[in-house]
């Protein structure tokens, strides 16, 4: 079925748009969401997307031409051969449809839900930025609307007074539906309604009460404001400014939702958010016990062993040799990470523990070996990491080795066996390598 392409209303004050360029040619296939043409308003230049899939036909407006909002400028047809012209580019009816019970509303100019994109058929009203009865100028921000693509502030588009609001924050309102009425003069009464709501009949209409004398006509009071709503779609109702300020202050708007704070959120609500009590982290029912073991050896046998391995067997990577001694102490194929000066290198230890077969690896380590021999540190208590950690430090005569882990990483007997085996290999590498 052919689909008419119209000039969208990209802003409240827009009554026409200039076609900057067609991004598809007549007869080209298009998919829903493809950029179809560029349009320029007095505010910006935007790409307009296709609302349907098919073939572009019946183009009636040329590049550089000013086209009224709502005018049909092309057609998306089922085939490229469809040569039936689109309707002439005359403005479609873009006036706001009269809302139900229009005779109950203040007199004035309607404000409608703008079409902020070709694929948009409704917008979520985030908030009103003016109160009923307020004086507004054409460029004043009147409300905030959220589509599937962004949240935008929409100006009033005309001077006057906000006499009626016909939707509440949190409601989805169809494009072109009347959202508000702006009157030229300050209204004697104002009206606030939900979208598509029907005014409740007054008691006088339902059951007229007899009166001896007609009462004086009371001044109609403004309709009471409904309490702020929560978004029916689960979205957080907040303006771009509020979202930006929350991000800058490191605040999570979801916490206001959890606390039941009414939406839409305003700048003043950020202070409420900042003063909410801190979350109490859930405590684990079972806490793994830390293990910290220290061993001292009188002789640093590794340095001489590494020099021999390089000269006799070409094993010039000392980190790989050190990882080999640590891996042999685990008695199983493993990944050993050597940490030094904030840098880490991983090594895969083969089943036969041959130093010549050790290869680099980026997998998660089974054991971390932190080499601090070239520092003045003699003790460490950093706690367990993602894997057990052995820290190697220089002692007054030999080496100090500290193993830190938790009982959920290895039981205490295994930790004792690991540190004892590694200490022996670092003191006498040749004997323990056999």
Asked if the peptide bond before residue 96 counts as cis, ω within 30 degrees of 0, the response is no
pLDDT band at 292 (very low <50, low <70, confident <90, very high): very high
| Rounded distance between C-alpha atoms, residue 403 and residue 418, angstroms | 9
Look at residues 333, 341, 403 and name the one whose alpha carbon lies nearest to residue 365: 333
**Does the structure show a pLDDT above 90 at 294?**
yes
Residues 6+ apart with CB under 8 A from 177: 96, 97, 99, 112, 113, 166, 167, 195
Decide if 10 contacts 115 (C-beta within 8 A): yes
CB atoms within 10 A of CB 406: 16
More confident of the two residues 349 and 48: 349
More confident of the two residues 121 and 168: 168
Give the CATH number of domain 3-77: 2.40.50.100
> Which CATH architecture is the domain 290-433 placed in?
2-Layer Sandwich (3.30)
Share of the chain above pLDDT 70, in %: 78
Decide if 166 contacts 182 (C-beta within 8 A): no
Per-residue model confidence (pLDDT) at position 217? 44
Per-residue model confidence (pLDDT) at position 219? 45
Per-residue model confidence (pLDDT) at position 149? 56
- Among 64-68, 171-175, 194-198, the range with the most confident prediction by mean pLDDT is 64-68
Mean pLDDT within 357-364: 91
For the chain, the C-alpha Rg in angstroms (whole number) is 37
Per-residue model confidence (pLDDT) at position 88? 52
CA atoms in the 13 A half-sphere facing the CB of 190: 22
Query: What pLDDT digit, counting tens, does each position of 195-243 carry?
Result: 765 444 433 333 444 444 444 444 444 444 444 445 444 567 776 677 7
- Among 51-55, 176-180, 255-259, 307-311, the range with the most confident prediction by mean pLDDT is 307-311
Choosing among 3.20.20.190, 3.50.50.60, 2.40.50.100, 2.40.360.20, the CATH entry for 102-193 is 2.40.50.100
pTM: predicted TM-score of the whole model, two decimal places: 0.37
Domain boundaries, the chain: 3-77, 102-193, 240-274, 290-433
Q: What is the dihedral of CA 231, 233, 234, 236, to 10 degrees?
A: -50
CB atoms within 10 A of CB 269: 19
Q: Which of 70-79, 150-159, 203-212 has the lowest mean pLDDT?
A: 203-212
* Mean per-residue pLDDT of the chain: 80
Mean pLDDT within 362-382: 90
Which two structure tokens, joined as six digits, stand for 216?
Answer: 């004086």
For the chain, the straight-line distance linking the first and the last C-alpha, in angstroms and rounded, comes to: 82
Mean pLDDT within 312-335: 90
Residues 6+ apart with CB under 8 A from 286: none
Per-residue model confidence (pLDDT) at position 432? 60
Which two structure tokens, joined as six digits, stand for 267?
Answer: 């700048």
Per-residue model confidence (pLDDT) at position 145? 82
What does the chain come to in residues?
Answer: 434
Decide if 358 contacts 323 (C-beta within 8 A): yes
Q: Is 121 helix (H, G, I), strand (E, B) or coil?
A: coil
Do 3-77 and 102-193 fold alike per CATH?
yes
Per-residue model confidence (pLDDT) at position 358? 92
Q: Is 54 helix (H, G, I), strand (E, B) or coil?
A: strand
Per-residue model confidence (pLDDT) at position 427? 92
| Rounded distance between C-alpha atoms, residue 312 and residue 278, angstroms | 62
Which two structure tokens, joined as six digits, stand for 353?
Answer: 């523990």
More confident of the two residues 278 and 1: 278
Please report the beta strands in 300-421, taking only residues with DSSP state E, as ranges in sequence order: 334-340, 343-349, 359-360, 367-372, 389-394, 399-406
């Amino acid at each position: 079925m052919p689909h008419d392409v119209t000039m969208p209303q990209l802003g409240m004050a827009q009554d026409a748009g200039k076609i900057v360029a067609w991004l598809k040619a007549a007869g080209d296939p298009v998919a829903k969401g493809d950029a179809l043409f560029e349009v320029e308003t007095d505010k910006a230049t935007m790409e307009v997307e296709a609302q349907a899939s098919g073939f572009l036909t019946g183009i009636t407006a040329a590049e550089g031409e000013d086209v009224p909002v709502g005018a049909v400028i092309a057609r998306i047809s089922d085939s490229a051969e469809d040569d039936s012209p689109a309707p002439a580019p005359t403005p479609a009816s873009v006036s706001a449809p009269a809302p139900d019970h229009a005779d109950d509303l203040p007199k004035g100019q309607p404000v409608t839900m703008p079409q902020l994109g070709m694929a948009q058929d409704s917008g979520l009203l985030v908030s009103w930025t003016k109160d009923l009865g307020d004086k507004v100028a054409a460029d004043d921000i009147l409300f905030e609307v959220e589509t599937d693509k962004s949240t935008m502030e929409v100006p009033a588009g005309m001077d006057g007074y906000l006499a009626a609001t016909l939707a509440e924050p949190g409601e989805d309102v169809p494009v072109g539906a009347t959202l508000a009425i702006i009157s030229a003069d300050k209204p004697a009464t104002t009206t606030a309604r939900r979208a598509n709501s029907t005014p409740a009949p007054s008691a006088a209409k339902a059951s007229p009460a007899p009166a001896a004398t007609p009462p004086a006509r009371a001044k109609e009071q403004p309709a009471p404001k409904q309490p702020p709503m929560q978004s029916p779609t689960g979205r957080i109702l907040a303006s771009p400014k509020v979202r930006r300020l929350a991000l800058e202050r490191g605040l999570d708007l979801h916490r206001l939702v959890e606390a039941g704070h009414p939406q839409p959120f305003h700048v003043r609500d950020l202070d409420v958010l900042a003063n909410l009590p801190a979350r109490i982290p859930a405590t684990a029912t079972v806490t793994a016990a830390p293990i910290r073991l220290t061993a001292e050896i009188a002789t640093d046998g590794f340095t001489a062993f590494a020099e021999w391995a390089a000269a006799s067997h070409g094993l010039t990577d000392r980190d790989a040799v050190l990882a080999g001694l640590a891996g042999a102490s685990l008695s199983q194929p493993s990944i050993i990470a050597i940490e030094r000066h904030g840098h880490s290198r991983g090594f895969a230890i083969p089943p036969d523990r041959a130093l010549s077969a050790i290869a680099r690896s980026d997998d998660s380590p089974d054991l971390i070996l932190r080499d601090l021999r070239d520092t003045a540190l003699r003790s460490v208590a950093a706690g367990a990491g993602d894997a057990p950690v052995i820290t190697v430090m220089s002692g007054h005569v030999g080496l100090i080795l500290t193993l830190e882990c938790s009982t959920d990483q290895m039981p205490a007997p295994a930790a004792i066996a690991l540190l004892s085996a590694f200490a022996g290999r670092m003191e006498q590498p040749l004997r323990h390598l056999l």
